[in-house]
Structure formats: C-alpha cells, structure tokens
Amino acid sequence: MKTPVRTCAGCGKRRPKHEMIRVGLDRDGEFLLGGAGKVPGRGVYLCPDGRCVEAARRRGSLQRSLGAGVPGELFGEIERLCEERE
Ligand SMILES: [Zn+2]
C-alpha cells in the first residue's frame, strides 16, 4: 500500500501526509488545524517545522491555496502545534 504524501506549502518537499500539519478551511470560513479525520473543504499541508511555517507565511502560500486571508494568530497556533510534535 502506498503512503499518501502531500507537498509542504513552506518548503515544497513531499512527505507522508500523517507527518504533516493540515491547515483547513471549512465552508463557513473557519480554520481547522491538525489532521484528525476527514475535514471537508480546502486544505494545505505543512511540515511540523517552524521554518516551513515561516516560509509559508512569507510567501503567502496559505492565502493562495485557501483563497482566504490567514490571520496572524493562526500562524502562532500552527507553530505551537509544531512544537508539540517535536
Ligand atoms: Zn516543509
């Protein structure tokens, strides 16, 4: 069986999906972090690495992929998730 892989929105590398942090946007415009279960709506993936979060923030790749403005505090929450994974 093949492991599903996703591309990181920060560094552009491909990794197994289960290692990554998913940033989702549901139909109500709510951001959802983490990869628990199936989440409807759009999603982007990041390595659990603060450098990738920072790169994605600088490049605006989350906004581009999700089609919505990403609040600054969301990046803080993603960084906290990265620290928990370490
Ligand atoms: Zn990355």
Using a CB cutoff of 5 Å, list residues around ligand 1, an ion: 8, 10-11, 47, 52
Residue 11 CA to ligand 1 centre (angstroms)? 4
Residue 28 CA to ligand 1 centre (angstroms)? 27
pTM, to two decimals? 0.87
Closest CA to 79 of 11, 33, 19: 33
Residue 80 CA to ligand 1 centre (angstroms)? 16
* Domain boundaries of the chain, sorted by first residue: 5-85
Fold observed for domain 5-85? Hypothetical Cytosolic Protein; Chain: A; (3.30.1230)
Q: Give the pLDDT mean for 3-16.
A: 95
Residues 7-22, buried b or exposed e (16+ Cβ, 10 A)? Answer: ebbbeeeebeeeebbb
pLDDT tens, position by position, 18-56: 899 999 998 888 898 976 556 667 889 999 999 999 999
Q: Give the pLDDT mean for 4-26.
A: 94
Q: Which residue has the higher pLDDT, 25 or 86?
A: 25
pLDDT for res 54: 96
